[in-house]
Amino acid sequence: MTDVEDIIHYIKSLRKGFDKDLFQSKIDELAYIVENEGLEFNDFHTLFKVWLNLSIPITKWINLGACLVPNEKIGKLTVDYALRWLLAKYDNQSNFSNISFLLDWLTAAMDCNSVELDALNIGYEVFYSTLTYEALAPHSIKLVYNLTKPSDVTRRRVVELLDCAKKREAKKNLYRQIQVLLGLFKSYRPECVPEDIPSISIHTSFRKINANLLNRFTLSQDSGRNKKDPLIPNMEFLKLGSMQYTEQVTQKTYLDFSSPVSLLKHSVSRPSSRPARLRALLCNDTGTILLALASDTEQAFFSHDLHHLLNHCFFDKSPYSYEEKQYLLHRLATFQRTILQGIPVVTRFLAQFIAFWNETDFFGEIMDLVEWLSTDCYEYIESIMTSLTKIYSRAHSMDQCVMLKSLSAMYANLVHTSVRDRRLFMSTNSPRIEYSQILRGVATLLTQLYRKIFSKLKNKQNNGIKNTHEFEHRQLLKAYTSDVISCLYQENFLSNREEGYVFSKLNKQTVAMLNKIIPNAESKFSLRNHLAFAPYTYMQIEGSQAEAADNSMWFKYAIDKQFPSLCKLLIMTTPQLVT
């Protein structure tokens, strides 16, 4: 259990009369982690929810809240939870101290650019509604001021603020804050606000926020945790120096073409300007093809950049989210499929990453990358296969099937690579590759893995699967299938109810009553009598033929043509229908 997990477990277990000194030591430990290492989003969000729902003295509650500063920008998930909590609590004045600090917490995050403004904008109406409470207005006024847009200014709101200002005229600070907001409204829509509303400096009007909280948000921002370039950046083209002495025919860029085909034709015959960061070409399929056509120098530079990027993202503490990392791996897998070979840097990364992998994160992307491995170094392939063999032994059946599929594709792709003349991203001093050794080793491991899964399935069949969830599920499906056949074809769903599921709980008295009230009750759900099938069946057979037709004839003329899925089920369970 990590230090943060231990703190979360401790805070969740807090009860009335807890040890104040131990609590303070945990707070100090959390503050140290936040200031020096940063708080991962999952840990932060868990702590945030636990914190909001804690019932502890307000001073302790504020001290804990002042430590909750995440590594990344606060997103919609956290803001949504905070807004729901506000809506549930702000009608009770006993919660105003907690609400005031939460509003200060959101304000500090906004001031330090540590929260997504689009997510915060969702709460504008909630923040505005707190202005009617004198105790909450000083804490929410800055949020409202910064989030207000011209479309938010209405005559009704101006009247409401004027009324609040009139009531708080005796309280200088509260009155000044309302005047500041009215001044903002006046700058957006002068026609809605009286002319005598003065302009007041906003810097002296808003209350000061908890110093520790603000310092931690500022530290997080200054340390660059919230400042990051995208893993796959946008297309940007730099032009340095004067254009006066450049060649008469300037090189075209990616953005000068409207179709991928014309772009590729031009790139094959003439040099074109590359984006400032080569990995931007991973953003779409055309870009990946351009990257494959790049010069050896550019490909070497791309490999160097990619090596450091993968190490930073997956082996160091990085500010990138799970989704961003997942998208990077997905685009790299697409790139390898495009050039029909593995990239040496990616193969080296896989050898290092899979050895310490938790076998869950990025599972699909890792399996896609494994399909194409670089043959530049057999030791990396051997390391990957060894790690995957261990993972395979612990995996569930479905994961084993996915791994076998990827490894089989990898073997086929290695065979394909062995007969190719040109390989990309290979250094000029690459050693001579012994494909026979590589293919023989991979084939041996694959054979062992296939034997393992077949022996596992055989043992599973021999030992049976009783008293398991899978067995119960199969039994339920079997009983339900019996009901379907008894109703539609055999016309004995009541007399055969013990073998089914739907009617199995009907007692003898109920069955006797049904047979008495409904003549020939067991045939009412059959193919020839069921009302749901009538529009399809009676159109196929007319008059007297319809009265004489049995379920087999109805199946032949109607069900077989109109209901393919039902037809398949009936044939599987009742083979005589096709004779």
pLDDT digits (tens, 9 = 90+) for 292-344: 777 778 888 888 888 988 988 888 877 777 888 999 999 999 998 888 888 88
- As a whole number of angstroms, the distance between CA 213 and CA 215 comes to 5
Q: What is the largest CA-CA distance in the chain?
A: 104
Average pLDDT, the chain: 78
Helices (H), 66-171: 76-89, 96-111, 117-121, 124-129, 137-147, 155-167
Q: What is the pLDDT of residue 539?
A: 58
Provide the pLDDT confidence category of residue 544 given band limits of 50, 70 and 90: very low
What integer pLDDT is reported at residue 83 of this predicted model?
93
Going by C-alpha positions, the residue among 351, 390, 396 that lies closest to residue 373 is: 351
- Say which residue, 461 or 509, is predicted with more confidence: 509
Phi and psi torsions of 196, nearest 5°: -85, 5
**What are the pLDDT digits (tens) for 106-128?**
999 998 888 888 889 999 999 99
**Is residue 203 predicted with pLDDT exceeding 70?**
no
| Percent of the chain whose predicted confidence (pLDDT) is above 70 | 76
- The DSSP code sequence of 147-166 is H--GGG--HHHHHHHHHHHH
User: In which residue are the tokens 């055989």 written?
Assistant: 458
Distance of CA 533 to the CA centre of its chain: 43
| Residue 563: both structure tokens together | 């209901």
**509-538 residue pLDDT tens:** 888 888 888 887 887 777 777 777 766 666
Res 265: pLDDT: 63
Question: Would you say domain 3-222 falls under CATH 1.20.140?
Answer: no
pLDDT tens readout for residues 331-345: 999 998 888 888 889
What does the pLDDT average to over 143-171?
88
pLDDT of residue 102: 93
Query: What is the identity of the amino acid at 123?
Result: G
Per-residue pLDDT band for 211 (boundaries 50, 70, 90) equals: confident
- DSSP code of 440? H
Asked whether residue 258 carries a pLDDT value surpassing 70, the answer given is: no
The number of beta carbons lying within 10 Å of the beta carbon of residue 130 is: 21
pLDDT tens readout for residues 71-92? 888 888 999 999 999 999 888 8
User: Six-digit token pair at 125?
Assistant: 């109406």
Instruction: Determine the pLDDT at residue 524.
Output: 76
pTM over 0.75: no
By mean pLDDT, which of 39-53, 60-74, 231-245 is the weakest? 231-245
pLDDT, mean of residues 415-435:
60
The answer for residues whose C-beta is within 8 angstroms of residue 212's C-beta and 6 or more apart is: 31, 66
Of 33-37, 205-209, 303-307, 364-368, least confident by mean pLDDT is 205-209
User: How many angstroms from the chain centroid is the CA of residue 345?
Assistant: 26
Asked if 28 and 210 count as a contact pair (C-beta separation under 8 A), the reply is no
Which pLDDT value is given to residue 471?
74
Give the C-alpha separation, 113 to 300, whole Å: 37
| Domain edges within the chain | 3-222, 313-325+344-461, 477-578
Q: SS3 for 345-371, per residue? A: HHHHHHHHHHHCCCCCCCHHHHHHHHC
More confident of the two residues 540 and 83: 83
Q: Structure tokens of 158?
A: 């101006």
- CA 99, 29, 81, 85 torsion: positive or negative? negative
Question: CA of 489: how far to CAs of 481, 503, 525, 559, in Å?
Answer: 12, 16, 9, 12
CA–CA dist 206, 140 (Å, integer) = 10
Tally the residues of the chain: 579
Q: Six-digit token pair at 572?
A: 């599987």
* pLDDT on residue 248: 46
Task: Give the separation between CA 367 and CA 423, rounded to whole angstroms.
Answer: 22
The average pLDDT across 351-358 equals 90
Please report which confidence band the pLDDT of residue 415 belongs to, taking 50, 70 and 90 as the band edges: confident
The closest of 198, 203, 163, 169 to 184, measured between CA atoms, is 198
